[in-house]
Structure formats: structure tokens, C-alpha cells
Structure 1
């Protein structure tokens, strides 16, 4: 492989999720620093990265540290925060035929890659063919054919109707340059010198921070924010300290007394949305190589009932979280998709240790002398993986451990760096992981089911999994997801039986144990930059780690002073 591509091999390892509530939190008085750096055109961001960065700008890698949206663009931007028309990026127009088997796409003219080469339809064709050939990165389930009509027109054809796949394929697939990627393994290779079409290019990388600078030849014109510096800190407490010291401009994560952010730090405001569904995700399938008590669905259900979510919300999340559906239909915006057979429409907020005990005992578990259940000489002890410095999740696990003990379940946490945590998820070398399931590009639970429950994005333990890192393997769910992909999203009557099937299976199996819907809160510097998302203009989901959304926000912001 040519070294000057900046790539090296590393082993394995329509339209919006709408109706989320945005709440602008502000007050007055108090004092703080200006934030970030003295340069008004440089924005300093903290994504929650705990520990040093390990360079990797491969947009398809689970260990990527950046590049999506900012460097590598998709065809259209789909706003997860509210219902809106897709924003043209590398694509300018898209049109389906009547039966949903052909999608015609017009590309933007006169776009160049940041190395000066011309962007053409061949790059789009190459990218989608590469994704199709590598199932672990094919989270959108692309199974069609893609053809370049000419330099600015592409046609996607499918054997069956594929309406529902459009937003995923158009909005979540980063396009890469064929002339550099034709010899790249997109699953395993590390990219050190990324080349894209986006508004930014990589300027400098160090393990403690990396910096983007504007792409002078960007087709949309250079953004007002000339430099973006992503810093690696030790965790949430360090992020909160940096807000207090005024040394970062944007973080998405907790700070003390977050409801009074502006009163405490007048140069900052906080904004909260509810979208990501927190889970205790399990390595669920023994047949896929998972080991541990969590492979027993009874254990997963017992832990589900052992949680006191009201206490958990208060102690770990400052009451910023909300109820969640065990069917993973985002509440309240997707309540209409919930099957009538799902008895609990939302998770119980209060614990039910009696129910937990009954479930375990019916499955053959018996309490040991120390009050912890055991079965076949196996003690019911579970380890949950968490990133060092994620103080809210760490507090959540401490709280869950205390609650679970009352139900006869031992829960321990294991902290590691983000890179190690990601590797454990991808390879299946874990029992449980605390994480969140994210929404798709449209207000439709199909995307969550397709991302996280379809076996095509899973893998055997030891192999690199895609989004289905729980390694859930259920042919009934796979078939129902495949059937949903064939039906026009407007035909609710035809779709609901398949939703009913999926929900019956996943509520029973519970490979991802629902916790709460996380209140995603950003704290950002309003004295240094204007143009942040707001209730009046919620043009993107406001999270610095939601890369495609953050890229749109960076382009909208304007320096003050």
C-alpha cells in the first residue's frame, strides 16, 4: 500500500427523528472566561474523548476519531432534530420511480477533492460498491446496483422496493475518493491523511488534540469558523472544569448545576434534546460466541426490573433523562408504532425486585449464601464496560450496582479508555456495555431495528461487528426488517404487522436492556459564536459527537467580536 496516502493497516478490530423536545436553558449574572482561545475564528470542542487520540480518519472504522461531515461529505444532510427537507450536499436532486426500485441522483458540479482531483459520479459508485462488499460497514443494508450515467448523474437500482433505505444511503454514507481508496481495506485500514470534499481539512494531529482548518476550495465557500480544535481530556469532570475555566467552546456532556448554566457561566448556554436511548447492551448470543450470565434472557429481564430509574435519573443524569420504550420506539414521537401486544409501553421507573427474583427462579437460578443468585455453579455476576471519565455513566453504574444487589444480581463496572472500550464492543470481548442506540434519519423505528437488531451487521465474537455489537441473531427479526424495507413508509397498515413481530421478539429477548432516553445536552459559548441551534431554528441535532450534525453547525456559526 502506498504510504503517501496516509493509510496503514490495523487488525480487526422523509426525514428526521422529529418531535424531540428542545429546551433552551438560560439565566443571568455570574462570571466566567471568554472560552476557547483568544482567536475568535477558532472553536475548541470536546467530544467526550477520554485519554489520548489514536490517529484514524477512516470514516468507516469503529475507532475513527473524526472526519465525518467535516472532511468526508455525504450526498444529503438529513436533520434528525426535526422534520425538514434533506439539505443538498454532494447530491443536488434525488427522485424515486413509482415502485421504489430506482433512485436517480444528480450530483453537484465542479467539486474537487482536497488534493485537487475532480469529484465525479465514479467516486459515488466506487463508495457504494465498496460498502456493499463489506457487510460490517454496510449499516444501511445497501443491496442494490449503482451506475454512473455520466459525471454528474448516478442511478441506484434495487430488486425490490427500497424507499425506506433512501435516507440512510443518501444521508449516512460518507463518499470517499476512488483514486486513493481503491487499494484500501475500509474495515481494517487506518487513515492518517484524510482527503475529502468537505468544508475542512486536517491541519495538525497530536494525541492530545487535532485541528481542522477550512478547505480553501470548498464548493460551498469557506466557513466563518476557520479552525476547529478537538481536544482530548480525562473525562466529563475535565470537560466541566474546562467550561468553568473558559478553555473550550462546545461540549456535549454533563456539568454541575446544568439547569443554571448561564447564571453560573454567562458566556455559555445549555440546550437539551431527547433522542438517544440508553442501554445496558449485552453480548447476547451464545451461538455467536458470547460468554457469561447475560446470554440468558432471564438475567437480562431481571436486571431490567431491578433498576430504580427515578433514582438513576436523579443521581446520574440530574433529571435530564426521560422514559424509554422497551420496544425502542422513541417516545412520544414514535408511540404510534408500538404493538398492541407490548404490555409495558415505557420502562418501569420504580424497581420491582420481586419480579426480578421470580424471573430468575423460574429460569433455574437460586440464591446463594451471600444473597447473589447462582446456577450450575455460576454466580450471577456481571461486568459492565464504561469509558474512563464518563462520570454520568459511571455514577449510573454505581447506582445500578446498588439496585441490582437488592435483586440478587452482582453488577461491577470496568473502566477503560475510549479506544479500548470501542475495541471490546467491536470484537465482542465484553459482557455488558453502557451505551446508547441512536435514531435514524427519519422518525421511524425501522432504522433502529435495522441498525442494531439485524444480524447482517453483527459478527461472531472475535470478528469485527457493525452496529449490532450485541451480536443479536434472530431470523424472525431479520425477515421482518427485510420485509419493512420493501414497503412504502406511507403504508402504515402494511408495515405494522412487521413492527409487531419485531417488537414481540426483541421485548422477549432484550439483547439491549433499556435504561432511559438520554437528555443530550450541549454547553456552548454564545458570547464567542452565534448561530447555534435553537427552538426557533433547530437545523441540526445539537451534539458535538453527532458528526454529520456537528459539521452543519460548524458551517453555520459566526464569530462574535
Structure 2
């Protein structure tokens, strides 16, 4: 069966023939930042380009680790497939009939890694802190968490809140006895304390280590040590796979479809979840500056892209279709509004449509072939992380394509920390990134995370997930109404989904590219228990922290 056929038939997970090296991850990686050990040490590369800056605050946009591994939520939600939530700190959960009270039973006998007992007071404290601190409240939590006793907590909402359940249950819990004196928006937590299967070991800017927790409530994991490396980028990650000095990385390597033939000890596995975008600082009213604040410019750039060429040159044909509504294709196709003319993004460029959109909006082509308006040339700079070779290649390709449509596109490379700060503060025009899915197969979560104005902020202030700073009262109202409805009531939800999709397809604060093929390359000789088509128990991406934490606990060292 061909790769293309498998993508079309499965639409979810592709087990690419896999790969590996004859060398195991026991030596040092390039730059001296590696370090293997015994067979129970897993070497991971998340794509970190440049030195780590210590920050284990699970609510910080610049956190470098700890979600799931150190700080656990009440339940784990598997983004890779529809499944019941997996009990972690919580063991049972249920709603009252009208969706205003969520009751959770907590696991008994759990301790924090400093030996203190975990209780319902820690849960109530965590959510009280979220509610009081808008800058970290990316899920829009507005309930009242009350510790009924040590092992029972209730979340009460003023209105039905069924759709908020997965976000609440998937939020990391922190210890009240330590965090009552923490500034959650500024403190970086150099010595994190959690309930998870791992605790922080040593930290250096080039690498940090998580050590297994022998007192973990679920039993000490078989993988005793996880070492996260900092390398120079995707090429260094690919080189590390070739050298056998990394056990798991999620990112491109050359000839990825033939990984098994090239590196017989490794497998490659692809899933389609994250929707790649050119994110824009879109809102002039909140201080964004540049041509990208004009929706016509954003739509013109959307039509200027040759996505077939992009997929081939930048993503080795591992990317797949995407809907401009951001309902995930094909698993969420039923959510796409019938009024949306283009159900999926155009794969071929449409320069005539791009020109028509720009000229209708008052842009005129200059002598150099680039459009201008009111003395402003249509020149855009896209932020990208140094070393992210697939995205860098994508931007080089987009620049060439955009020029054909009269749009100048330039790229600016910076470290991951700088790139993150620019997005958060709004000091950018465009940034290549991807929007992630929520805990359930429902586009509501993408709309609530990335389009609700409550998750934005004026330029110069730190935004939440809505770093485009998009603000539309109609979208806000529709998102708020969806939050009140039972997800099973499709008829009642339809008008609100239609309203959101009409607005975001028209305004495009996040310009759709393609759905990224998220491919992990992992060492199957050294470890077994990786996700597969037959047992897709977590989304297989080393940088998807909650999923990776579940994978680390499932793996069994060989040797």
C-alpha cells in the first residue's frame, strides 16, 4: 500500500517503516550535551535550539519541561484518538444533570516529591490561583473549586460548562504549601515539586535530566532517567539519530519514509494533529503594526501559497489537508459549516485571486512588482526559530511564491526563547507556528484557545494562547454560547460554529498552511512499548508534554 493511500484511508496515524542506527545512545552528542548511561536512560530531543534557560513553572509560556512528568493533572486525555480520560490524580469524575457542577474523587495515598501529602486543598488552591491570575488562565476557568474533604473536590460554575471539563481535568496541579508564596506569572521554579513519576535531576544549559520517582503512586517507571538535550536545530537532531546518540526525537530527518532501511534500530511514526500557520499580530487597535493588520493582506497571502510545492520541499510530503475553519480534517469534518465554500485549503496558488483581494482593498502594484498602499510597501517579516530547518525551508519557499503575487516575505531567525517572547508581547508581524488541538475531538477548543479575546492582550503585555490578539465580539459571543451547551446537542451548537467559522475564514488572523505530519523517530532496540496503530495510547510527540509523560511510563528498556 502506498504512503498516499494509507494517509487517505487512515486519516489519523501512519506507521512509517522505521529505522535506526547500530549505535545506542550511550555516548555524548555533538557539542558535549549528550550523555547516555545504562539501558534505562532515555535520551530525548524536543527540538530545543540553543541553551535551556531554567524554568519549570508549568503555567509559564517559557517553561522547558515538567508537564505530566513532574506536575500531573487529574486525568490524562489522549489527543490521538477518541478514548475515555485516564485517571491520574483523579479516579472518578461526573457532572450533575445541568452541567454546572463537576465532582471529582481524588486518588488516596499520593504524596508530593518533598514528602508532603497531596489533598483536595491543593486542587482547590491551583484553580483559585488560575481564576485570580488572568495571565496564566489560558483555559478561561471561571468556576469555584471547593475541597469537600481530602479526597473529594467540586467545581461549580454559574452556567453549564460541559466543554470546560477536559481543560479543567487536564490542568497541572501544584502544591499549595509551596505555591502560596509563588508569583505564578514571574517565578521560574528552579526546584519543582510535583506528584509525577519523575523529579528534576541535574540541570545545565545544554541538557537537563529527570530522575524516576521511587515513591510514585503508580510505581516507579522502568525508564529511570530521561535526559533532554539542547542541540543546534533539526540538522543536529537528524545527525544524532544517525549517530545513535538520541533515542527519541520528533522532527524531520532526511528520507524519513525509509527510516527503517537507513537506520535499522529505529522506527518512524507519523500523526496529523497540529495545524501549521503563519500567525499574525493582527489587531491594530491593540497595537499591532504592519501590513498584516489588513485582513486583505492575510487572505492574499493565503491564496499565494503553492502548498503542493511546500509539502514536497519543506515537509517531505508528510503534511496533509487542512480546513481554513481549523476543524481537523478528516476527523472533525462534520463540524465544518455548509456555508464555507472552500472546505480545505487550496493546494495550488491563485495569484489572480490574491491580486483581486489586494486591489479591492486599495493596494496597487509598484514598479518593483510589490504592492503598496498609502506609501507602505507590502513587505512582511516572519519570525522562525533558528535550526527549525523544515520551517525555514517553508519560509524560503513561501517567500518565492509570495513574490509572484506581489508580496515581499522575509524571515528572521532567533532562539526559541526570543521567538516565544516576541509572540507573547506582540513584537512581531508574522510567526510560523502551529495551533494544537484540545483534549477532545471538537474545534471548540481551538476557537477558545486561539480566538477568544480574553486570551489576548495589548501589544507590550503578555498574551495567552491568542497571541494574534484577534478580537471579534461575534466570535467571543459564539464561543461563550458553545461553552454553555452539551457537546452532544449538535443542532443547538451549529449556529455558533457557523458564526465562528465565517469570521475566522474571512479575517484569517492565523493564515492556514497545512496540517503538519508530526513524525517521531524512536529507538525500538533500546525500548519497547512505543505507541502504534494497534495501541495509540498517546499522541506520539516528544514535545507534547502530557502525552510524552504517559509514553515514558509505558516504555520498557531492553538490554
TM band (smaller chain): over 0.9
1:136 touches 1:458 (CA, 8 Å); kept in 2?
no
* Pair 1:25 & 2:10 matched: no
The aligned residue for residue 479 of structure 2 is: 481
1:177 touches 1:195 (CA, 8 Å); kept in 2?
yes
Separation (CA, whole Å) in 2 of partners of 1:340 and 1:511: 21
Name structure 1 gaps, 5 residues minimum: 1-18
The aligned residue for residue 192 of structure 2 is: 194
Separation (CA, whole Å) in 1 of partners of 2:16 and 2:468: 36
Separation (CA, whole Å) in 1 of partners of 2:524 and 2:37: 15
Cα distance per residue 1:205-240 (max 9 Å; x no partner): 000000000112111110000000000000000000
The aligned residue for residue 98 of structure 1 is: 97
Separation (CA, whole Å) in 2 of partners of 1:232 and 1:268: 21
SS in 2 for 1:136: helix
2:301 touches 2:354 (CA, 8 Å); kept in 1?
yes
Separation (CA, whole Å) in 2 of partners of 1:440 and 1:31: 35
The aligned residue for residue 299 of structure 1 is: 297
The 1:300/1:262 distance shift into structure 2, 3 A limit, reads: same
* Pair 1:212 & 2:210 matched: yes
The aligned residue for residue 168 of structure 1 is: 167
2:21 touches 2:243 (CA, 8 Å); kept in 1?
no
1:20 touches 1:81 (CA, 8 Å); kept in 2?
no
- After TM superposition, the structure 1 = structure 2 runs for residues 430-469 of structure 1, keeping only pairs within 5 Å, are 430-469=428-467
The aligned residue for residue 538 of structure 1 is: 536
- After TM superposition, the structure 1 = structure 2 runs for residues 38-437 of structure 1, keeping only pairs within 5 Å, are 38-171=37-170, 173-437=171-435
The aligned residue for residue 35 of structure 1 is: 25
TM superposition score normalised by structure 1:
0.95
Name structure 2 gaps, 5 residues minimum: 1-9, 27-35
SS in 1 for 2:201: strand
The 1:31/1:48 distance shift into structure 2, 3 A limit, reads: closer
- Deviating more after overlay: 103-112 vs 36-45: 36-45
Separation (CA, whole Å) in 2 of partners of 1:548 and 1:174: 9
TM superposition score normalised by structure 2:
0.96
Cα distance per residue 1:457-480 (max 9 Å; x no partner): 111100011100000011110000
SS in 2 for 1:274: strand
TM superposition shift of 1:187: 1.4
2:162 touches 2:484 (CA, 8 Å); kept in 1?
yes
SS in 2 for 1:191: coil
The aligned residue for residue 7 of structure 1 is: none
The aligned residue for residue 5 of structure 2 is: none
Cα distance per residue 1:390-436 (max 9 Å; x no partner): 00000000000000000000000000000000000110000000000
Cα distance per residue 1:471-498 (max 9 Å; x no partner): 0011110000000000000000000100
TM superposition shift of 1:38: 4.6
Separation (CA, whole Å) in 2 of partners of 1:40 and 1:478: 51
Separation (CA, whole Å) in 1 of partners of 2:511 and 2:384: 15
TM-align CA RMSD: 1.0
1:214 touches 1:227 (CA, 8 Å); kept in 2?
yes
TM superposition shift of 1:388: 0.2
SS in 2 for 1:190: coil
SS in 2 for 1:45: strand
1:136 touches 1:456 (CA, 8 Å); kept in 2?
no
1:20 touches 1:275 (CA, 8 Å); kept in 2?
no
Separation (CA, whole Å) in 1 of partners of 2:136 and 2:531: 30
SS in 2 for 1:210: strand
- Deviating more after overlay: 151-160 vs 32-41: 32-41
Separation (CA, whole Å) in 1 of partners of 2:143 and 2:498: 27
- After TM superposition, the structure 1 = structure 2 runs for residues 2-21 of structure 1, keeping only pairs within 5 Å, are 20-21=11-12
SS in 1 for 2:188: strand
Separation (CA, whole Å) in 2 of partners of 1:533 and 1:387: 28
TM superposition shift of 1:32: 3.0
2:286 touches 2:459 (CA, 8 Å); kept in 1?
yes
2:55 touches 2:63 (CA, 8 Å); kept in 1?
yes
Cα distance per residue 1:539-561 (max 9 Å; x no partner): 00000000000000000000001
Cα distance per residue 1:13-37 (max 9 Å; x no partner): xxxxxx8521112268x85312352
1:268 touches 1:525 (CA, 8 Å); kept in 2?
yes
TM superposition shift of 1:323: 1.1
Cα distance per residue 1:359-408 (max 9 Å; x no partner): 11110111111110011110100000000000000000000000000000
TM superposition shift of 1:305: 0.2
Separation (CA, whole Å) in 1 of partners of 2:475 and 2:388: 33
2:135 touches 2:462 (CA, 8 Å); kept in 1?
yes
2:391 touches 2:432 (CA, 8 Å); kept in 1?
yes
Cα distance per residue 1:296-339 (max 9 Å; x no partner): 00000000000000000000000000111000000111110111
